[in-house]
Structure 1
Amino acid sequence: MLLKTVRCNAPAQGRKQAVRAVVALGLMVLAAVTHAEGLFSPMLTLRMGDQVVTLERERLDAMVQSELQTSTTLQPQIGRWQGVLGRDLLAHLGIPEGVVRPMTMRSWDDYRIDMTTEDFYLWDVLIATRLNGELLGVEDLGPLRVIYPRDQHKALQDSRFDHRWVWLLRSIEVTP
């Protein structure tokens, strides 16, 4: 396993990245010792008010699958990412297409990002389960990763979007 050191100009952001990296490393070690599928169960939880939908890999794989070829800030080479579009997960909660609501995404390493559902309607944001045909493992910062089509849209190559690329995705909560 190769660990890459990332330098950033903002000290607080650098500390947060370092903490996330240590937690992710701990999860990788734990996953190597236990069965990773059982560790991440349910794989994804969707919430809106009292409505809760839990999804295991089988249910995610049974949904309409999409593919996106793009690089990431952590992987500059272009990868072929597969998974479910974020807007399809919102539809699974019964949210009508284009309705913008506050949303929070959380990861297994306790990262949290507050945003709106708008990104899922503006772009083909993917909740990836696979990279180049292979299931995402913890070593790939999976089993689920939020992937934006950054190579297709210059606006997404702005660092303001980098914090929205959630890895180790655990839940999406939409405010009713």
Structure 2
Amino acid sequence: MGKFSNFICAAVTVISIGLCFTSANADDGRVVLTIDGEIAGSTPRNFTLEQLEAIGMETIKTATPWHEGEQTFEGVPLAALMQHVGANGDIAYVLALNNYSTEVPITDFEEHGVILASRKGGEAMSVAEKGPLFIIYPYDSDPALRTELYYTRSAWQVRQITIE
């Protein structure tokens, strides 16, 4: 296959994944997140939105650089999620549906109260709305969080977290 054919195949794959997640809701049983790497049992763990939300939800009200005005996000605290899977590493390598990747120190999760948001304004987030999962820091709680460093750690359309 030529470069153009590879590009078309990749684009079709991303669009297909996006359509799959766009229609997903919290009750449909689709896997939206895989966590692997240095976790208890060393076997990858798959989660539906319902399973993630059952771990416990917290709310962050904050402005973001990607939205107009203050927004209300709800999601599982990443510190609780790491405890739930028995994470034994220092870094969370995050991969998004569009293949964006970032590294987040696991210490951020507890230190800053970071959530893996699944809802904005009380509604499940579609892929078009940066969902189904979005790493949210409480940006308004500390001016240091309103920097490029923390914005780059705030991946949206999260699909996988690898712990190392």
Which residue of 2 is the match for residue 69 of structure 1?
61
Residues of 1 paired with 2:18 and 2:86: CA distance? 37
| Alignment CA distance shift 1:52-1:148 (3 Å) | same
Which residue of 1 is the match for residue 31 of structure 2?
42
Q: Secondary structure of the residue that 2:110 maps to in structure 1?
A: helix
Within a 5 Å distance, the mapping from 1:89-128 to structure 2 comes to: 89-95=81-87, 101-128=90-117
Does the 8 Å contact 2:125/2:132 carry over to 1? Answer: yes
Structure 1 residue ranges, 4+ long, deviating more than 2 angstroms after superposition? 25-32, 34-37, 48-51
| Alignment CA distance shift 1:123-1:29 (3 Å) | closer
Q: Secondary structure of the residue that 2:72 maps to in structure 1?
A: strand
Q: Secondary structure of the residue that 2:83 maps to in structure 1?
A: helix
Deviations 1:18-42 (A, max 9, x none): xxxx99x94697359x7335xx942
Give the aligned CA root-mean-square deviation in angstroms: 2.8
Deviations 1:22-75 (A, max 9, x none): 99x94697359x7335xx942111113423111001101211110010011111
Determine which of 138, 141, 160 is the counterpart of 1:152: 141
Q: Secondary structure of the residue that 1:171 maps to in structure 2?
A: strand
Residues of 2 paired with 1:55 and 1:159: CA distance? 29
Q: Secondary structure of the residue that 1:129 maps to in structure 2?
A: strand
Which residue of 2 is the match for residue 15 of structure 1?
none
Does the 8 Å contact 1:70/1:78 carry over to 2? Answer: yes
Determine which of 129, 138, 143 is the counterpart of 1:140: 129
Which residue of 2 is the match for residue 7 of structure 1?
none
Which residue of 2 is the match for residue 8 of structure 1?
none
Which residue of 2 is the match for residue 161 of structure 1?
150
Q: Which sections of structure 2, spanning at least 5 residues, go unmatched?
A: 1-10
Q: Which sections of structure 1, spanning at least 5 residues, go unmatched?
A: 1-21
Which residue of 1 is the match for residue 52 of structure 2?
60
Residues of 2 paired with 1:142 and 1:28: CA distance? 12
CA drift of 1:172 comes to 1.1
| Alignment CA distance shift 1:35-1:134 (3 Å) | closer
TM-score between the two structures when normalised by the length of structure 1: 0.74
